Amino acid sequence: MKTNNKEIKERAHKINWREFSAMEEKDKIVFLNNSQTGNPFHVLFSQQFDRKILDLLCKVADKARLIHKNRDKGRKFLKSLLFGTFALNFFSQPSSRTFLSFETAQEILGMGIRDIRDPNTSSEAKGESMEDSIRTFSSYVDLIVMRHPEAKAVERGVWVLNRSDRRIPIISGGSGPDQHPTQALLDIYTIYKSFDRKVDNKTIIMIGDLLRGRTVRSLSYFMKNYKNMKLIFVSPRHLRMKKDIKDFLKRHKISYQEENNFKKVIPLADVIYMTRIQDEWDKGKNKQKSHESVGQGFKFKAEYLNLMKKKSILMHPLPKRDEIDVELDYCGDPRIIYWRQERNGMWARVALIAMIFQKEQDILRYKIK
């Protein structure tokens, strides 16, 4: 793989963890993206992705899906792309979709797959530092996908490997309250697919726990790549979107507003993005409080379908609880997109891995017979 390995290593060697960690996200991008292709190498933040990369990723995801429909030659071709390479999925925080979709994406591309889901089964349980564990993992595989309960844990892995002799890519599947960039990728791919491959000019309502939800934060950063986007934030007072995202939107002249009345704004939306209350971050008594305070005003009732535009979609990163009326799960309305959204995650991740390993042109050039 062509990377600016030597140059990055020289620069990375001079930066200790404290300095690296304190850098602004935009200044870290040089340590994350491939300087030759501009594509991501490690994946930590949405800000690593510009319009060109996002458009390419959506095209590659679409094409890989089509190729995969050809069960014989198409699937063999996809499998040949990364045959002989290995991926480790190191998930020490619960996950269904991110874990399974990455694993399946890796298999589609022919990678051998290893996983660690419980750090008690790795030598971390014997006191090995996370830094040493990551270096050890990198000895056996060509890609690490990592989800961790601690903030900056994946970023620390990136810092470690950028300084090591075996600089393999790490993709964040979520790290404490940090971003969930691959969720944002699949969300953008879902919008792209749902609106005839056009993401510009959309009004998106984000509703629920906007304070702690890492998906809405990651998706908000992508807005700067598209024209005429508008965000409407609807949340309980104590779970509002943080100032850093609002400052980012202001800086990039992206229109946003905060609203209390969900029902009132539904007819304005092209995309309604529901989220659950992230009470796993609450402590003690707050757990109950976090739930009780939310109330019906932040849930999607079945009758709200009548308020939605004819051409609009209801998204949810999942898992969900009771924030969407369950009868909508089986109603067959094409605007209920969240089940397709989670499957889109697999294709977005196929495209991302292919781009990291510089296989995207092979996919785009493949002639489907």
Q: Which residues bind ligand CP (CB under 6 A)?
A: 95-99, 183, 317-319
Query: Between residues 62 and 103, which has the closer beta carbon with respect to ligand CP?
Result: 103
Whose Cβ is closer to ligand CP: residue 67's or residue 346's? 346
CB of 25 to ligand CP, least distance (A): 20
Comparing CA positions, the residue from 278, 360, 351 lying closest to residue 43 is 351
Of 21 and 95, nearer to ligand CP (C-beta) is: 95
In the complex, the smallest distance separating the C-beta of residue 317 from ligand CP, rounded to whole angstroms, is 4
Q: Is the dihedral of CA 175, 278, 252, 246 positive or negative?
A: negative
User: Toward ligand CP, which CB reaches closer, 38 or 319?
Assistant: 319
Shortest Å, Cβ 71 to ligand CP = 27
- Cβ-Cβ contacts under 8 Å for 167 (sequence gap 6 or more): 3, 5, 8, 9, 161
Q: What is the DSSP string of 32-61?
A: TB-TTT--BSSB--GGG--HHHHHHHHHHH
Question: Residue 208 or 317: which CB sits closer to ligand CP?
Answer: 317
**Shortest Å distance, C-beta 89 to ligand CP:** 11
Residues linked to residue 144 through DSSP beta bridges, in sequence order: 88, 170
Shortest distance, position 215 Cβ to ligand CP, whole Å: 7
Cα–chain-centroid distance for residue 125?
29
User: Rounded distance, CA 291 to CA 35, Å?
Assistant: 45
Residue 121 CB, nearest approach to ligand CP (Å): 20
Least distance between ligand CP and beta carbon 91 (Å): 8
Specify the residue, 77 or 99, whose C-beta has the smaller distance to ligand CP: 99
CB of 275 to ligand CP, least distance (A): 10
Q: Is the dihedral of CA 194, 195, 197, 198 positive or negative?
A: negative
Taking the CB of residue 364, how many other CB atoms lie within 10 A of it?
Answer: 14
Query: What contacts 41, CB < 8 A, 6 or more positions away?
Result: 3, 32, 33, 34, 169, 356
Report cis status (omega within 30 of 0) of the bond before 319: yes
Minimum separation from the CB atom of position 102 to ligand CP (A): 9
Sign, Cα dihedral of 240, 241, 243, 246: negative
Q: 28 or 180, CB closer to ligand CP?
A: 180
Give, in degrees to the nearest 5, the angle at Cα 277 between 276 and 280: 115
| Residue closer to ligand CP, measured from CB, 80 or 96 | 96
Q: What is the chain's Cα-based Rg?
A: 20
**Tokens in use for 32?**
């994350």
CB of 186 vs ligand CP, minimal distance in Å = 8
Nearer to ligand CP by C-beta: 61 or 67?
61
Task: Give dist(CA 38, CA 18) in Å, integer.
Answer: 26
Q: How many residues does the chain have?
A: 369
CA distance 301 to 322: 10
Nearer to ligand CP, 3 or 95 (CB): 95
Q: What letter represents residue 265's amino acid?
A: V
Q: Which of 245, 190, 196 has its CA nearest to residue 223?
A: 245
